[in-house]
């Protein structure tokens, strides 16, 4: 395999295949369907190549976290999520079985090959982050809910017991899951690495198992987030990190370390737990983002202010989900404002194509390369714009994206 090929969901061909799946579902276009099939077939045949050291998960590991190739965003689990979606989209075709078998093979890779045994159950990297073990468990949940496998459910329960061992009582209040790792002198509390993402996973574990332990610890995660939230002119925001010179002063707006991801936790909890605190938390975080000047204010994101991971595409999708839950015009307006920024930052080319720069010039002028992946590039941005387009259709119900294991609209 060429070293230049990136198979990952985060930045490579699996994310592009997922975008074509979304296009196929919306348009029924045979050309889009063929592109999706080609990407899925390649992923089904070559997913193990993501374990090779020349892959982007190793070469472009900006977070400096070992084992990221095992996770569900930059690693094999993300490919598995796309294959699950492919099996559902092409359920009536002969390709569906191929995608199903490959997704289940990735499941067996996690259960039989790469899992280590902890004190209470299996684990993989030792990090609770959604980018790491938390995301692997989201993939396994999606695999179980799509194809059904009682043995896999029992494995998930055992892994969930081990996951609970990684919670720590915080002196600030509540329970903290620090996915940044013990070697890091600070704590990322938001979605990709912190307690917001861990609480989200625990809510899904409660949803599929009915085990009240997960619900209780998820509530304690919310207590921790409340304890570290910083009041704004209106509302509150969770800081990018705890510890270091910029503690409590830098706030991201995107999926990875900001409101676009963190809001998903109280939103999900509100569908499972009849407590006004979840609606209050959602409104406080949204108020805080608007007080910061979002979405027009430039995010303090990692490298890009518009991609799904770090910026406006992720924000737009989150607020679309909120709009579908309660119909508030506020959420729709917020999502629309995000879409205006996405369209305004789009670069058109002489051949009629379009792309987005990987970074805004005034942030990182050395990184203006065009990227095509789901989380860091055009596939995720275009997928979000597609959701915004679908909002105008009468049959639009729930903007589920790849990292949401709900088998159907969670309001049902």
Residue 162 belongs to a domain: no
What's the token pair of residue 180? 């940044």
Pair (282, 307) in one structural domain: no
φ and ψ at 242, to 5 degrees? -110, 125
Pair (2, 99) in one structural domain: yes
- Rounded to a whole number of angstroms, the distance between the first and last alpha carbons of the chain is 44
Residue 327 belongs to a domain: yes
pLDDT at site 42: 96
How many angstroms separate the CA atoms of 268 and 270, rounded?
5
Within 76-138, strands assigned E span 116-117, 122-123
**DSSP secondary structure string for all residues of 359-398:** S-TTT-TT---B--STTTSHHHHHHHHHHHHHTTSTT---
Residue 228 belongs to a domain: yes
Residues of the chain with pLDDT under 70: 1-4, 54-66, 181-185, 298-304, 358-369, 405-412
Sign of CA dihedral 390, 28, 30, 38: positive
Residue 385 burial (CB count, 10 A): 17
CB 191 within 8 A of CB 257: yes
φ and ψ at 217, to 5 degrees? -70, -35
Collapsing DSSP to helix, strand or coil, 354 comes out as: strand
Pair (283, 351) in one structural domain: no
What's the token pair of residue 29? 């276009």
Pair (126, 214) in one structural domain: no
Pair (236, 335) in one structural domain: no
φ and ψ at 251, to 5 degrees? -130, 125
pLDDT at site 354: 82
Residue 298 belongs to a domain: no
Strand partners, 242: 187
Cα distances (Å, whole numbers) of residue 389 to 19, 383, 385 = 14, 10, 6
Pair (14, 146) in one structural domain: yes
Pair (186, 145) in one structural domain: no
Tell how strand 168-169 and strand 175-176 pair up: antiparallel
CA-wise closest residue to 264 among 338, 333, 226, 317 = 317
pLDDT at site 250: 85
- The count of C-alpha atoms lying within 13 angstroms of the C-alpha of 177, restricted to the half-sphere facing its C-beta, is 35
CB 399 within 8 A of CB 321: yes
Pair (365, 324) in one structural domain: yes
pLDDT at site 365: 47
Pair (41, 123) in one structural domain: yes
Residue 160 belongs to a domain: no
pLDDT at site 405: 67
Residue 113 belongs to a domain: yes
Spacing of C-alpha 54 from chain mean position: 24
Q: Is this model's pTM higher than 0.85 or not?
A: yes
94 by Cβ neighbours in 10 Å (0-12 / 13-18 / 19+) ranks as exposed
Last residue of a domain, one of 122, 155, 188: 155
Last residue of a domain, one of 115, 133, 155: 155
Residues 6+ apart with CB under 8 A from 234: 287, 288, 290, 291
| Residue owning tokens 């970074």 | 359
Pair (285, 320) in one structural domain: no
CA-wise closest residue to 375 among 254, 240, 268, 265 = 254
- The count of C-alpha atoms lying within 13 angstroms of the C-alpha of 11, restricted to the half-sphere facing its C-beta, is 21
CA-wise closest residue to 196 among 127, 130, 283, 270 = 130
Q: Which parts of 251-308 fold into alpha helices (H)?
A: 259-262, 264-272, 276-292
Pair (244, 334) in one structural domain: no
**Phi-psi region at 327: left, alpha or beta (left = phi > 0; alpha = psi -120 to 50):** left
φ and ψ at 298, to 5 degrees? -70, 125
pLDDT at site 72: 86
Residue 296 belongs to a domain: no
Q: How many domains does the chain have?
A: 3
CB 178 within 8 A of CB 135: no
Cis peptide before 295 (omega within 30 of 0): yes
Pair (134, 14) in one structural domain: yes
Residue 367 belongs to a domain: yes
| Residue owning tokens 């304690």 | 220
Collapsing DSSP to helix, strand or coil, 184 comes out as: coil
pLDDT at site 362: 45
Last residue of a domain, one of 155, 189, 224: 155
Instruction: Give the domain range for residue 118.
Output: 1-155
């Amino acid at each position: 395999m060429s070293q230049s090929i990136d198979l990952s969901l985060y930045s490579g061909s699996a994310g592009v295949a997922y975008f074509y799946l979304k296009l196929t579902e919306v348009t029924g276009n045979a050309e889009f369907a063929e592109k999706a099939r080609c990407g899925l077939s390649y992923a089904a045949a070559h997913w193990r190549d993501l374990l090779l050291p020349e892959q982007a998960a190793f070469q472009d590991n900006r977070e400096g976290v070992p084992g990221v190739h095992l996770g569900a965003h930059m690693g094999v689990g993300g490919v598995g999520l796309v294959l699950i979606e492919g099996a559902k989209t092409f359920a009536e075709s002969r390709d569906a079985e191929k995608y199903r078998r490959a997704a289940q093979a990735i499941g067996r890779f996690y259960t039989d090959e790469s899992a280590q045994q902890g004190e209470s159950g299996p684990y993989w990297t030792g990090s609770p982050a959604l980018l790491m073990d938390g995301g692997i468990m989201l993939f396994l949940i999606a695999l179980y809910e799509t194809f059904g496998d009682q043995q896999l459910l029992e494995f998930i329960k055992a892994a969930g017991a081990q996951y609970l061992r990684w919670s720590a009582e915080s002196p600030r209040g509540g329970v903290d899951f620090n996915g940044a790792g013990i070697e890091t002198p600070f704590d990322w509390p938001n979605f990709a690495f912190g307690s917001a993402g861990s609480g989200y996973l625990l809510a899904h574990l409660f949803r599929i198992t009915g085990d009240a332990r997960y619900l209780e610890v998820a509530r304690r995660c919310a207590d921790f987030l409340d304890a570290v939230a910083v009041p704004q002119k209106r509302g509150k925001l969770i800081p990018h990190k705890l510890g270091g010179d910029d503690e409590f002063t830098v706030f991201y707006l995107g999926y990875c370390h900001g409101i676009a991801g963190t809001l998903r936790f109280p939103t999900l909890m509100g569908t499972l737990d009849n407590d006004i605190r979840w609606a209050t938390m959602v409104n406080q975080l949204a108020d805080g983002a608007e007080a910061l000047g979002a979405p027009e204010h430039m995010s303090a994101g990692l490298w890009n202010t518009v991609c799904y991971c770090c910026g406006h595409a992720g924000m737009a999708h989150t607020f679309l989900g909120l709009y579908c839950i309660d119909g508030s015009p506020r959420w729709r307006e917020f999502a629309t404002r995000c879409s205006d920024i996405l369209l305004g930052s789009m670069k058109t080319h002489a051949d009629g194509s379009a792309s987005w720069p990987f970074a805004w010039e005034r942030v990182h002028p050395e990184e203006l390369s065009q990227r095509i992946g789901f989380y860091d590039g055009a596939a995720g941005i275009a997928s979000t714009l597609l959701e915004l387009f679908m909002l105008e259709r009468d049959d639009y119900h729930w903007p589920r994206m790849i990292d949401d294991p709900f088998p159907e609209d969670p309001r049902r």
